[in-house]
A and B are shown apart, each in its own frame.
Chain A
Amino acid sequence: MIRIVNLSKSYGEKKVYDAFSLDIEQGKVLCILGESGCGKTTLLNVIAGLTDYSGEVPALRTSYVFSTPRLVPNLTVRGNLALVGADRGEAERLLALVGLEGFGDRYPSQLSDGQAQRVALCRAFLFPSDIMLLDEPFSSLDLKVKLAVMQVFFRLRESRPFTALAVTHDVDEALYLADRIVVLSDGKICGDFKNSPCGTFGADSPLRGQIMSLLLV
Protein backbone atom coordinates (compact mmCIF):
# COMPACT_ATOMS: atom_id res chain seq x y z
CA MET A 1 0.00 0.00 0.00
CA ILE A 2 1.29 3.46 -0.89
CA ARG A 3 0.17 5.96 1.78
CA ILE A 4 -0.11 9.69 1.38
CA VAL A 5 -0.80 11.27 4.78
CA ASN A 6 -1.69 14.87 5.69
CA LEU A 7 -0.62 16.36 2.39
CA SER A 8 -0.83 20.14 2.29
CA LYS A 9 -0.05 22.24 -0.72
CA SER A 10 -0.73 25.86 -1.61
CA TYR A 11 -0.07 28.07 -4.61
CA GLY A 12 0.36 31.49 -3.02
CA GLU A 13 -2.87 32.19 -1.14
CA LYS A 14 -4.74 29.33 -2.79
CA LYS A 15 -4.84 26.14 -0.74
CA VAL A 16 -5.07 23.11 -3.02
CA TYR A 17 -4.70 20.42 -0.34
CA ASP A 18 -5.09 20.70 3.40
CA ALA A 19 -4.33 17.53 5.40
CA PHE A 20 -5.26 15.31 2.45
CA SER A 21 -4.73 11.54 2.79
CA LEU A 22 -4.99 8.75 0.24
CA ASP A 23 -4.09 5.05 0.14
CA ILE A 24 -3.10 3.54 -3.19
CA GLU A 25 -3.30 -0.21 -3.47
CA GLN A 26 -0.35 -1.83 -5.20
CA GLY A 27 -0.89 -3.60 -8.51
CA LYS A 28 -4.13 -1.66 -9.13
CA VAL A 29 -5.12 1.32 -11.23
CA LEU A 30 -6.58 4.21 -9.24
CA CYS A 31 -8.29 6.91 -11.23
CA ILE A 32 -8.92 10.38 -9.84
CA LEU A 33 -11.80 12.34 -11.28
CA GLY A 34 -12.57 15.96 -10.67
CA GLU A 35 -13.21 19.29 -12.28
CA SER A 36 -10.36 21.41 -13.65
CA GLY A 37 -8.28 23.08 -10.95
CA CYS A 38 -9.25 20.68 -8.14
CA GLY A 39 -5.62 19.58 -7.67
CA LYS A 40 -5.44 16.39 -9.74
CA THR A 41 -2.19 17.23 -11.55
CA THR A 42 -0.74 18.74 -8.37
CA LEU A 43 -1.17 15.38 -6.66
CA LEU A 44 0.78 13.64 -9.44
CA ASN A 45 3.51 16.30 -9.34
CA VAL A 46 3.82 15.90 -5.56
CA ILE A 47 4.28 12.13 -5.91
CA ALA A 48 6.79 12.60 -8.76
CA GLY A 49 8.76 15.13 -6.70
CA LEU A 50 8.16 17.92 -9.21
CA THR A 51 6.75 20.34 -6.66
CA ASP A 52 7.23 21.10 -2.97
CA TYR A 53 4.64 20.20 -0.32
CA SER A 54 4.24 19.39 3.34
CA GLY A 55 3.03 16.05 4.67
CA GLU A 56 4.06 12.44 4.32
CA VAL A 57 4.55 11.18 0.80
CA PRO A 58 6.77 8.13 0.28
CA ALA A 59 9.81 8.60 -1.96
CA LEU A 60 8.89 6.54 -5.00
CA ARG A 61 10.42 5.81 -8.36
CA THR A 62 7.82 7.17 -10.71
CA SER A 63 7.12 6.89 -14.39
CA TYR A 64 4.98 9.67 -15.75
CA VAL A 65 2.70 9.89 -18.79
CA PHE A 66 1.89 13.54 -19.37
CA SER A 67 -1.07 14.87 -21.32
CA THR A 68 1.33 15.47 -24.22
CA PRO A 69 3.96 12.83 -25.11
CA ARG A 70 7.04 14.91 -24.14
CA LEU A 71 9.36 12.74 -26.19
CA VAL A 72 12.91 14.03 -26.69
CA PRO A 73 12.76 15.38 -30.29
CA ASN A 74 16.39 14.60 -31.15
CA LEU A 75 16.14 10.94 -30.16
CA THR A 76 14.47 8.22 -32.17
CA VAL A 77 11.67 6.17 -30.64
CA ARG A 78 14.27 3.59 -29.62
CA GLY A 79 16.52 6.34 -28.22
CA ASN A 80 13.66 7.76 -26.15
CA LEU A 81 13.01 4.35 -24.65
CA ALA A 82 16.73 3.73 -24.06
CA LEU A 83 17.00 7.12 -22.29
CA VAL A 84 15.00 5.75 -19.35
CA GLY A 85 17.15 2.61 -19.32
CA ALA A 86 14.87 0.32 -21.31
CA ASP A 87 16.35 -2.97 -22.44
CA ARG A 88 16.41 -3.06 -26.25
CA GLY A 89 14.70 -6.45 -26.59
CA GLU A 90 11.97 -5.51 -24.14
CA ALA A 91 11.47 -2.18 -25.93
CA GLU A 92 11.02 -3.91 -29.30
CA ARG A 93 8.57 -6.38 -27.78
CA LEU A 94 6.52 -3.59 -26.26
CA LEU A 95 6.56 -1.51 -29.45
CA ALA A 96 5.16 -4.52 -31.29
CA LEU A 97 2.50 -4.90 -28.60
CA VAL A 98 1.34 -1.30 -29.07
CA GLY A 99 1.32 -1.62 -32.86
CA LEU A 100 4.53 0.30 -33.50
CA GLU A 101 6.69 -2.49 -34.83
CA GLY A 102 9.28 -1.04 -37.21
CA PHE A 103 8.90 2.49 -35.79
CA GLY A 104 12.05 2.29 -33.65
CA ASP A 105 14.19 4.43 -35.97
CA ARG A 106 11.64 7.21 -36.39
CA TYR A 107 11.93 10.60 -34.75
CA PRO A 108 8.99 12.00 -32.74
CA SER A 109 8.31 14.54 -35.50
CA GLN A 110 7.64 11.60 -37.84
CA LEU A 111 4.91 10.18 -35.57
CA SER A 112 1.24 11.06 -35.31
CA ASP A 113 -0.10 12.29 -31.94
CA GLY A 114 -1.53 8.88 -31.15
CA GLN A 115 1.69 7.06 -32.07
CA ALA A 116 3.76 9.48 -29.97
CA GLN A 117 1.45 9.00 -26.98
CA ARG A 118 1.77 5.22 -27.37
CA VAL A 119 5.58 5.62 -27.26
CA ALA A 120 5.18 7.74 -24.10
CA LEU A 121 3.12 4.91 -22.59
CA CYS A 122 5.83 2.40 -23.54
CA ARG A 123 8.47 4.64 -21.94
CA ALA A 124 6.47 4.79 -18.71
CA PHE A 125 5.86 1.08 -18.79
CA LEU A 126 9.52 0.21 -19.43
CA PHE A 127 10.87 2.44 -16.67
CA PRO A 128 11.26 0.34 -13.51
CA SER A 129 8.97 2.41 -11.30
CA ASP A 130 6.96 1.87 -8.11
CA ILE A 131 4.01 3.75 -9.55
CA MET A 132 2.96 4.97 -12.98
CA LEU A 133 1.42 8.42 -13.02
CA LEU A 134 -0.89 9.40 -15.86
CA ASP A 135 -2.02 12.99 -16.29
CA GLU A 136 -4.99 13.03 -18.64
CA PRO A 137 -2.93 11.00 -21.10
CA PHE A 138 -5.72 10.68 -23.65
CA SER A 139 -7.15 14.20 -23.51
CA SER A 140 -5.28 15.55 -26.54
CA LEU A 141 -6.31 12.65 -28.78
CA ASP A 142 -9.32 12.37 -31.04
CA LEU A 143 -11.85 9.67 -30.17
CA LYS A 144 -10.55 7.01 -32.56
CA VAL A 145 -6.91 7.44 -31.50
CA LYS A 146 -7.95 7.74 -27.87
CA LEU A 147 -9.69 4.35 -28.03
CA ALA A 148 -6.64 2.77 -29.70
CA VAL A 149 -4.28 4.14 -27.04
CA MET A 150 -6.62 3.14 -24.20
CA GLN A 151 -6.73 -0.38 -25.62
CA VAL A 152 -2.95 -0.36 -25.56
CA PHE A 153 -3.01 0.65 -21.90
CA PHE A 154 -5.49 -2.12 -21.17
CA ARG A 155 -3.36 -4.65 -23.03
CA LEU A 156 -0.24 -3.53 -21.15
CA ARG A 157 -1.83 -3.90 -17.73
CA GLU A 158 -3.10 -7.35 -18.68
CA SER A 159 0.38 -8.40 -19.80
CA ARG A 160 1.95 -7.20 -16.53
CA PRO A 161 -0.09 -5.70 -13.66
CA PHE A 162 1.29 -2.42 -12.30
CA THR A 163 0.37 0.28 -9.85
CA ALA A 164 -0.95 3.39 -11.53
CA LEU A 165 -2.52 6.66 -10.53
CA ALA A 166 -4.37 8.31 -13.41
CA VAL A 167 -6.15 11.63 -13.36
CA THR A 168 -8.87 12.58 -15.78
CA HIS A 169 -12.12 14.50 -16.00
CA ASP A 170 -13.67 11.90 -18.30
CA VAL A 171 -15.92 9.38 -16.50
CA ASP A 172 -15.78 6.93 -19.39
CA GLU A 173 -11.99 6.85 -19.32
CA ALA A 174 -12.08 6.11 -15.59
CA LEU A 175 -14.65 3.32 -16.00
CA TYR A 176 -12.61 1.87 -18.86
CA LEU A 177 -9.30 1.72 -16.99
CA ALA A 178 -9.58 1.86 -13.23
CA ASP A 179 -9.94 -0.65 -10.41
CA ARG A 180 -10.90 2.20 -8.13
CA ILE A 181 -12.29 5.65 -8.84
CA VAL A 182 -11.91 8.57 -6.45
CA VAL A 183 -13.81 11.81 -7.03
CA LEU A 184 -12.08 14.97 -5.82
CA SER A 185 -13.61 18.32 -5.12
CA ASP A 186 -11.73 21.28 -3.63
CA GLY A 187 -8.83 19.05 -2.59
CA LYS A 188 -11.08 16.62 -0.69
CA ILE A 189 -12.37 13.14 -1.52
CA CYS A 190 -16.10 13.30 -2.09
CA GLY A 191 -16.56 9.85 -3.59
CA ASP A 192 -14.65 6.55 -3.56
CA PHE A 193 -15.78 3.64 -5.77
CA LYS A 194 -14.55 0.15 -6.53
CA ASN A 195 -14.76 -0.60 -10.24
CA SER A 196 -14.25 -3.57 -12.50
CA PRO A 197 -12.33 -2.13 -15.43
CA CYS A 198 -14.42 -3.04 -18.41
CA GLY A 199 -12.05 -2.29 -21.30
CA THR A 200 -15.04 -0.97 -23.23
CA PHE A 201 -15.66 2.67 -23.87
CA GLY A 202 -19.02 4.19 -22.92
CA ALA A 203 -20.19 1.04 -21.11
CA ASP A 204 -23.41 1.25 -19.17
CA SER A 205 -21.90 0.98 -15.69
CA PRO A 206 -24.08 1.44 -12.58
CA LEU A 207 -21.31 3.69 -11.19
CA ARG A 208 -21.66 6.15 -14.02
CA GLY A 209 -24.74 7.88 -12.64
CA GLN A 210 -23.37 8.11 -9.09
CA ILE A 211 -20.06 9.59 -10.28
CA MET A 212 -21.79 12.01 -12.63
CA SER A 213 -24.02 13.27 -9.83
CA LEU A 214 -20.93 14.02 -7.70
CA LEU A 215 -19.16 15.77 -10.57
CA LEU A 216 -22.18 17.90 -11.39
CA VAL A 217 -22.67 19.20 -7.83
Chain B
Amino acid sequence: MNLRKLYPVSFILLLLSFFTSELVAAPPEGYDFLSLNKAMKQSASEQKPMFLYFGRYGCSTCRKMHKEVFSDAGLNKELSEKFVLAYVDTESGNRIRLPNGERTTEMQFASRNRILGTPTFIYFSPDQKALFKKAGFQTIDTMGLYNDFVLEGHYKTSKLKEFLATK
Protein backbone atom coordinates (compact mmCIF):
# COMPACT_ATOMS: atom_id res chain seq x y z
CA MET B 1 0.00 0.00 0.00
CA ASN B 2 1.20 3.48 -0.83
CA LEU B 3 1.70 5.03 2.56
CA ARG B 4 1.48 8.50 1.03
CA LYS B 5 -2.22 7.84 0.76
CA LEU B 6 -2.28 7.69 4.52
CA TYR B 7 -0.47 10.97 4.89
CA PRO B 8 -3.42 12.92 6.24
CA VAL B 9 -3.94 10.25 8.86
CA SER B 10 -0.35 10.42 9.95
CA PHE B 11 -0.79 13.87 11.34
CA ILE B 12 -2.97 12.55 14.14
CA LEU B 13 0.17 11.08 15.60
CA LEU B 14 0.83 14.11 17.71
CA LEU B 15 -2.68 14.76 18.94
CA LEU B 16 -2.51 17.17 21.78
CA SER B 17 -5.85 17.08 23.50
CA PHE B 18 -9.34 15.73 23.22
CA PHE B 19 -12.60 17.16 24.41
CA THR B 20 -15.53 14.82 24.62
CA SER B 21 -19.06 16.03 25.03
CA GLU B 22 -21.28 13.08 24.35
CA LEU B 23 -21.59 9.36 24.07
CA VAL B 24 -19.30 7.68 21.63
CA ALA B 25 -21.03 5.67 18.94
CA ALA B 26 -20.62 1.99 19.34
CA PRO B 27 -17.25 0.26 19.51
CA PRO B 28 -17.49 -3.48 20.15
CA GLU B 29 -18.29 -4.63 23.67
CA GLY B 30 -15.58 -6.21 25.77
CA TYR B 31 -12.83 -3.94 24.45
CA ASP B 32 -11.29 -0.90 26.05
CA PHE B 33 -11.46 1.52 23.12
CA LEU B 34 -10.16 4.95 24.05
CA SER B 35 -10.69 8.38 22.62
CA LEU B 36 -8.13 9.16 19.94
CA ASN B 37 -6.11 11.50 22.09
CA LYS B 38 -5.90 9.15 25.03
CA ALA B 39 -4.96 6.29 22.75
CA MET B 40 -2.21 8.29 21.06
CA LYS B 41 -0.74 9.31 24.39
CA GLN B 42 -0.88 5.77 25.70
CA SER B 43 0.60 4.35 22.51
CA ALA B 44 3.48 6.80 22.74
CA SER B 45 4.15 6.24 26.41
CA GLU B 46 3.92 2.44 26.25
CA GLN B 47 5.54 2.10 22.81
CA LYS B 48 2.65 -0.12 21.73
CA PRO B 49 1.10 -0.22 18.26
CA MET B 50 -2.27 1.45 17.88
CA PHE B 51 -5.39 0.06 16.24
CA LEU B 52 -7.68 2.88 15.07
CA TYR B 53 -11.28 2.00 14.30
CA PHE B 54 -13.42 4.45 12.29
CA GLY B 55 -17.03 3.45 12.99
CA ARG B 56 -20.45 4.95 12.59
CA TYR B 57 -23.46 4.83 14.83
CA GLY B 58 -25.79 2.20 13.35
CA CYS B 59 -23.25 0.90 10.79
CA SER B 60 -24.44 -2.57 9.71
CA THR B 61 -21.04 -3.96 8.73
CA CYS B 62 -19.68 -2.76 12.07
CA ARG B 63 -22.47 -4.64 13.86
CA LYS B 64 -21.73 -7.74 11.81
CA MET B 65 -18.05 -7.57 12.70
CA HIS B 66 -18.87 -7.00 16.35
CA LYS B 67 -21.00 -10.13 16.43
CA GLU B 68 -18.97 -12.38 14.16
CA VAL B 69 -15.37 -11.18 14.50
CA PHE B 70 -14.70 -8.97 17.51
CA SER B 71 -16.57 -11.51 19.66
CA ASP B 72 -13.71 -13.96 19.14
CA ALA B 73 -11.90 -14.46 22.43
CA GLY B 74 -8.48 -14.87 20.81
CA LEU B 75 -8.80 -11.70 18.77
CA ASN B 76 -10.08 -9.84 21.81
CA LYS B 77 -7.09 -10.98 23.88
CA GLU B 78 -4.54 -10.09 21.22
CA LEU B 79 -5.98 -6.68 20.37
CA SER B 80 -6.59 -5.79 24.02
CA GLU B 81 -3.20 -6.87 25.32
CA LYS B 82 -0.88 -5.94 22.48
CA PHE B 83 -2.45 -2.85 20.95
CA VAL B 84 -3.78 0.44 22.17
CA LEU B 85 -7.31 0.76 20.82
CA ALA B 86 -8.82 4.01 19.51
CA TYR B 87 -12.31 4.66 18.20
CA VAL B 88 -13.58 7.54 16.04
CA ASP B 89 -17.29 8.07 15.32
CA THR B 90 -17.39 9.39 11.75
CA GLU B 91 -20.61 11.36 12.34
CA SER B 92 -19.76 12.72 15.77
CA GLY B 93 -19.40 16.33 16.82
CA ASN B 94 -16.92 15.32 19.54
CA ARG B 95 -13.98 17.70 19.47
CA ILE B 96 -10.37 16.73 18.95
CA ARG B 97 -7.25 18.82 18.65
CA LEU B 98 -4.75 17.98 15.94
CA PRO B 99 -0.97 18.25 16.06
CA ASN B 100 -1.01 21.39 13.95
CA GLY B 101 -2.98 22.96 16.79
CA GLU B 102 -6.34 22.84 15.06
CA ARG B 103 -9.47 21.91 16.96
CA THR B 104 -11.90 19.94 14.85
CA THR B 105 -14.55 17.27 15.26
CA GLU B 106 -14.35 13.52 14.78
CA MET B 107 -16.63 13.83 11.76
CA GLN B 108 -14.42 16.45 10.13
CA PHE B 109 -11.32 14.43 10.98
CA ALA B 110 -12.80 11.39 9.23
CA SER B 111 -13.86 13.37 6.16
CA ARG B 112 -10.51 15.07 5.68
CA ASN B 113 -8.88 11.64 5.89
CA ARG B 114 -11.26 10.50 3.16
CA ILE B 115 -12.81 7.68 5.11
CA LEU B 116 -15.42 6.50 2.63
CA GLY B 117 -17.08 3.78 4.62
CA THR B 118 -17.21 2.07 7.96
CA PRO B 119 -15.71 0.12 9.47
CA THR B 120 -12.28 1.34 8.43
CA PHE B 121 -9.24 0.21 10.42
CA ILE B 122 -5.82 1.80 10.47
CA TYR B 123 -2.86 0.10 12.11
CA PHE B 124 -0.03 2.18 13.54
CA SER B 125 3.47 1.03 14.46
CA PRO B 126 4.79 1.48 18.02
CA ASP B 127 6.62 4.57 16.78
CA GLN B 128 3.24 5.87 15.59
CA LYS B 129 3.52 5.62 11.85
CA ALA B 130 0.38 4.76 9.89
CA LEU B 131 1.09 1.35 8.36
CA PHE B 132 -2.00 0.40 6.38
CA LYS B 133 -5.71 0.99 6.10
CA LYS B 134 -8.42 -1.64 5.63
CA ALA B 135 -12.08 -0.88 4.99
CA GLY B 136 -15.13 -3.12 5.17
CA PHE B 137 -15.74 -6.54 6.65
CA GLN B 138 -12.65 -8.47 7.78
CA THR B 139 -12.65 -12.06 9.01
CA ILE B 140 -11.10 -13.28 12.26
CA ASP B 141 -8.30 -14.88 10.26
CA THR B 142 -7.43 -11.77 8.28
CA MET B 143 -7.53 -9.66 11.43
CA GLY B 144 -5.10 -12.14 12.94
CA LEU B 145 -2.79 -11.80 9.96
CA TYR B 146 -2.91 -8.00 10.16
CA ASN B 147 -2.01 -8.27 13.84
CA ASP B 148 0.90 -10.61 13.03
CA PHE B 149 2.16 -8.23 10.34
CA VAL B 150 2.41 -5.47 12.90
CA LEU B 151 3.35 -7.37 16.06
CA GLU B 152 6.03 -9.49 14.40
CA GLY B 153 7.56 -6.47 12.71
CA HIS B 154 7.04 -7.66 9.12
CA TYR B 155 6.06 -4.11 8.16
CA LYS B 156 9.72 -3.15 8.52
CA THR B 157 10.78 -5.36 5.62
CA SER B 158 7.75 -6.00 3.44
CA LYS B 159 4.44 -4.68 2.31
CA LEU B 160 1.21 -6.12 3.69
CA LYS B 161 0.28 -7.56 0.31
CA GLU B 162 3.59 -9.40 0.10
CA PHE B 163 3.22 -10.66 3.63
CA LEU B 164 -0.32 -11.93 3.02
CA ALA B 165 0.80 -13.72 -0.15
CA THR B 166 3.13 -15.88 1.94
CA LYS B 167 0.27 -17.08 4.16
A, B in one complex: no
